[in-house]
Amino acid sequence: MRNLWQAEIYYLRKDLAFKSVTAVFALASFVLVLILGSNGGYALRSYAEPLKSAASFSILFYLVIPLHACFFATEGFEHGSVQNIIGAGHSRMKYFTSKYVLELLAALGWLLEFYGLFYLFYLAAALITGAPMGHAGFTADLMAGMTALGLNLLYLAAYCAAVMMLGMLFRKPASAVVAAFFFIFGNLLLSGYLKDSSSAVLRVISEYSLMTQILKFSGIYVAQARLVLLSDAGDYIRAVLIPVIWIAVCLRAALLALENKDIHI
């Protein structure tokens, strides 16, 4: 497993897609701080407020990282390296697991990069513009920011499990990316369109979709003209259980697909 990890890290270091995503999050953190400041200035209620503000842009992660996960999952089939890796005495399960864990580490790195840079840019902008900085609600803002960071990692794990499962099923990058697009935007549609459906079943599907939970913990979910946040323990348990079930089901399906199907390059 250690050999596989080292090889995959080596691959990512040379991978243009990995470098591009890293650059996108750096650029996005800068641009979003500019946009926020141009709308309402850089006044800070507390030093932790930028972390809470950064959480409201969570959706950006789900448009970019799952696509990288999809390419990363299928690159071995595209270039044929999976054949040599399995031929070199690595089990299929280890092959997939190493890729999945590494993608999660990359996702954690990108989350920290975005949050960190967003925070630094915001503070720098506040200092440069001489905006007022207070201490009110520091703990609440910090907790909100950290909760969003943790849940984002959990939900990215669920998204990556789903798209990497699609990668193992389709194997061809082009087909897998189309399927991943359907999954990502399908989730957006489930959350956005079905929440106001007249059908109770469709409303339940929308309520329990991954994207609805993401929008809730990001603080941007609006239903019936009302902002809905995660509030009680039940909400938090549901917000944790839904992605955990997705992860368990998708990883099992991915491993079954990889173990039981022949690999043809």
**Site residues, other proteins (CB under 8 A):** 3-4, 6-7, 10-11, 14-16, 79-91, 262-265
| Closest separation in Å from C-beta 263 to other proteins | 4
The tokens for 45 are 């209620």
Smaller CB distance to other proteins: residue 36 or 82? 82
Residue-wise over 98-123: b if at least 16 C-beta within 10 A, else e? bbbebbbebbeebbebbbebbbebbb
Smaller CB distance to other proteins: residue 44 or 82? 82
Smaller CB distance to other proteins: residue 1 or 227? 1
| Closest separation in Å from C-beta 87 to other proteins | 4
Smaller CB distance to other proteins: residue 124 or 174? 174
* Residue 231 CA from chain centroid, whole number: 22
| Closest separation in Å from C-beta 94 to other proteins | 9
Smaller CB distance to other proteins: residue 6 or 197? 6
| Closest separation in Å from C-beta 67 to other proteins | 18
Pairing of strands 221-223, 226-228: antiparallel
Smaller CB distance to other proteins: residue 145 or 167? 167
Q: Is 148 exposed, middle or buried (0-12, 13-18, 19+ CB in 10 A)?
A: buried
Long-range contacts of 173-178 (CB under 8 A, 24+ apart): 173/70, 173/71, 173/74, 173/75, 173/77, 173/78, 176/70, 176/73, 176/74, 177/67, 177/70, 177/71
What is the phi-psi region of residue 80: left when phi exceeds 0, alpha when psi lies from -120 to 50, beta otherwise? left
| Closest separation in Å from C-beta 178 to other proteins | 22
| Closest separation in Å from C-beta 124 to other proteins | 35
